[in-house]
Structure 1
């Protein structure tokens, strides 16, 4: 276990951080630890960081373009789309041990 994981777990125990699960198609959910008052942007950075740690553990060398992921998908919680990067995740009602999923962005119709 890495030092970052241990620090994150301690922060969760002290109520300073929350654990969020990211549901992925055909893959086990990814557990991400973020501060309680994190923004959507900070959550996205944490997802990328935790996924890279997950890849190191599994020995995967697949390169992920996070710019492409965030341009193509939004995070979704219940019926809410987390589309404002500067908004606090608490504004969407996200709390400890909630599960988020990826939702494909809809193309804007050309006028």
Structure 2
């Protein structure tokens, strides 16, 4: 019986180690006034954009994948002071945040700053 248990454990170990263990992750923006923290929790470099919500409709966005230039490395975090966000002013309450890896993964949302 003892040998059977060792054999079963070995087979389970081989099955688990043979499975695809790729990690998908996502990109998360979290307000920490007076800064916005952006975490790239993926294994790919991504392009992100942050714009004050009321100003976002004024910007003509080009396709970031046409000439892909990632600005956030994989598994990294950056912190952006509110004053460095495009279109920010003293009355701003939220920002529009988007990201893409130009390989099918992307996301966007409006983030309340306070």
Q: Considering the TM-score relative to the shorter chain, is it more than 0.5? A: no
Q: Output the TM-score relative to the length of structure 2.
A: 0.26
Structure (1 or 2) with the larger CA radius of gyration: 2
Q: Output the TM-score relative to the length of structure 1.
A: 0.26
The answer to which structure has the higher strand fraction is 2
The answer to which structure has the higher helix fraction is 1
